[in-house]
Amino acid sequence: MLNKTLQITKYNVKGFKNIVENYNIVNIQNICNSNFTDNKIKSIDNEPLEMTYGWADFEDNYGTQFNNIIADINTYSVIKASMRIDIKKIDKHILKAKVYERIQSAKLANISNVEDDSFYDSKEYRQEIIDEVYDTMLIYTKATPKAIPVIIFPDTETLWFGSTSAKFNEYFVDLFNKTFECMPIPEIPYQKTNRPKDIDVADQYNNYAQIGYDFCKYMYYASITSNVDINFELGNKIVLANITEDKIQEKFTITGSEYDTFTTNKIIADGAEIIEIGLIFNYPEYSIPIYIKAKDMNYSGVKTLKQEDDEAGFIIKIETISELLDDIDKYFNDFLKQYENWEEINNKIIADLSGSPF
């Protein structure tokens, strides 16, 4: 039985082993415990703050201690923790009513001792009252916590963060870098290429930005031709787009009963890129669906074997999909070995898609 989808962003953390002088899992555990404690989440209750984030224990998101941060996943010893985000939400309708009440009271009492009460209707005065009321409401509003699992693989200097939200990932990168002075880099396709090491990161991305789209086309072609030994098949969704100067001009989403391979082939042959592809990976005891987004190679829609929705369940889910992500890496590396001849390969794919419904 499959559970609800699991969102994951994978990062490389090169240099993570260097946070200790003599690398071993015990030394890593000790330094992580200390650094997590130094950067743990701090309460913003009774404070005029909207949001904060910091580390929390993997299992006890509200505790002040970090217990049992080591776990075993397959053949790896891993570090486990959570990034907790506390957010206060202010009701805009209540804020508006309180601001109106404050301004009307100020007018009646003429608290600023002005001759013309239009002063109280000015934009500047209104903004001043909004800020005061907003800060007061923040003080009396309780924060809503959200804990996101983090699994660090010290041996491979990689980690998995349990969210694909751009904002949450931005907070996480900031927190991790502040904690360990080690910048997490999202694992996106261009990083695996044999690119020159001395060019700017932005130039690297521009030079290899196309590679994610090409990989998705490669996977699509493999799934409908079975010309290679694969353990995956097409899922129930594919998103195509005409892209000009890195901007999507027209998008086509084909799902479920609408899935028509002949039509899809025609759209791709006419020049559309695959910006997202759904695949199903098959294993002896279960199958796992996944969506691959071409631009940044984020994975989403992963459904794992049914487990409890707690931290222990997350560990088991990670164990379940580790083989899946290893397989995707294997196919991507096989793809990279052929990428120098991609123009020739792509021409063949386009010719085949133009002439055959498979």
| Cα distance between residue 213 and residue 189, in whole Å | 10
**Do 268 and 119 reside in the same domain of the chain?**
no
**Do 84 and 123 reside in the same domain of the chain?**
no
Whole-number Cα distances in Å, 229 to 219, 221, 226, 289, 331: 12, 13, 7, 19, 10
Contact 175, 39 (CB under 8 A): yes
Please report whether residue 278 resides in a domain.
Answer: yes
Please report whether residue 110 resides in a domain.
Answer: yes
Please report whether residue 27 resides in a domain.
Answer: yes
**Do 263 and 320 reside in the same domain of the chain?**
yes
**Do 224 and 331 reside in the same domain of the chain?**
yes
Please tell me the pTM assigned to this model.
Answer: 0.65
| Cα distance between residue 58 and residue 32, in whole Å | 13
Q: What is the mean pLDDT of the chain?
A: 83
| Cα distance between residue 282 and residue 35, in whole Å | 40
Q: Predicted confidence band at 261 (pLDDT cuts at 50, 70, 90)? A: confident
Q: Is 355 strand, coil or helix?
A: helix
**Do 113 and 214 reside in the same domain of the chain?**
no
**Do 179 and 110 reside in the same domain of the chain?**
no
**Do 77 and 113 reside in the same domain of the chain?**
no
- Kindly state the tokens that stand for 333: 């590396």
Q: CB under 8 Å, gap of 24 or more: what pairs does 270-273 form?
A: 271/242, 272/240, 272/241, 272/242, 273/213, 273/216, 273/217, 273/240, 273/241, 273/242, 273/243
Please report whether residue 194 resides in a domain.
Answer: no
> For residue range 285-315, what is the model confidence (pLDDT) as tens digits?
788 888 888 877 777 777 665 545 555 666 6
How many domains would you assign to the chain?
Answer: 3
pLDDT in the model for residue 258: 64
Q: How many CB atoms lie within 10 A of CB 99?
A: 18
Please report whether residue 338 resides in a domain.
Answer: yes
Which domain, by its residues, includes 132? Answer: 92-139
Please report whether residue 255 resides in a domain.
Answer: yes
Q: Which helix (H) or strand (E) holds 78?
A: strand 76-87
| Cα distance between residue 144 and residue 156, in whole Å | 34
**Do 55 and 7 reside in the same domain of the chain?**
yes
Q: Which helix (H) or strand (E) holds 333?
A: helix 311-337
**Do 100 and 133 reside in the same domain of the chain?**
yes
Please report whether residue 196 resides in a domain.
Answer: no
| Cα distance between residue 180 and residue 32, in whole Å | 8
Contact 83, 9 (CB under 8 A): no
**Ramachandran angles phi, psi of 343, nearest 5°:** -60, -45
> For residue range 33-63, what is the model confidence (pLDDT) as tens digits?
999 999 999 999 999 999 999 999 998 888 7
Contact 79, 28 (CB under 8 A): yes
**Do 74 and 148 reside in the same domain of the chain?**
yes
Q: Span 312-340, mean pLDDT?
A: 78
